[in-house]
Amino acid sequence: MHSVPTVFRKYGYRFHFYTNEGNEPRHIHVTGNNGEMKVWLPELSVEFSYGFSPVEQRRIILTIKDNRKLLMEKWDEFAGKKK
């Protein structure tokens, strides 16, 4: 079983990582409101988005943009612990 470290929650969305994704580049998963999104960091490129409206997607991307530094720092801490 893999763990799912949560970085933070905002607007009812959970911003988190999965521990079983091997050596993928920096990214964040967002779940909530029956949707899920995966976004590559730092470029904010959306890998996939299911179940979110366009308004929700924009809000999520803006939240990631506003917290990009924190998310990348947490990713680096997380990736360092895996090695």
Number of domains present in the structure of the chain: 1
Let me know if residue 48 belongs to a domain: yes
In a domain, 1, yes or no: no
Q: Is residue 22 part of a domain?
A: yes
pLDDT of residue 80: 76
Q: Whole-angstrom Cα distance, residue 67 to residue 71?
A: 6
What pTM does this model have? 0.89
Contacts of 73 (CB under 8 A, 6+ apart): none
For the segment 28-65, what is each residue's pLDDT rounded down to a tens digit?
999 999 999 999 999 999 999 999 999 999 999 999 99
Ramachandran area for residue 12 (φ above 0: left; ψ -120 to 50: alpha; else beta): left
Residue carrying structure tokens 């990713």: 75
pLDDT score recorded for residue 83: 46
Q: Which domain holds residue 42?
A: 6-82
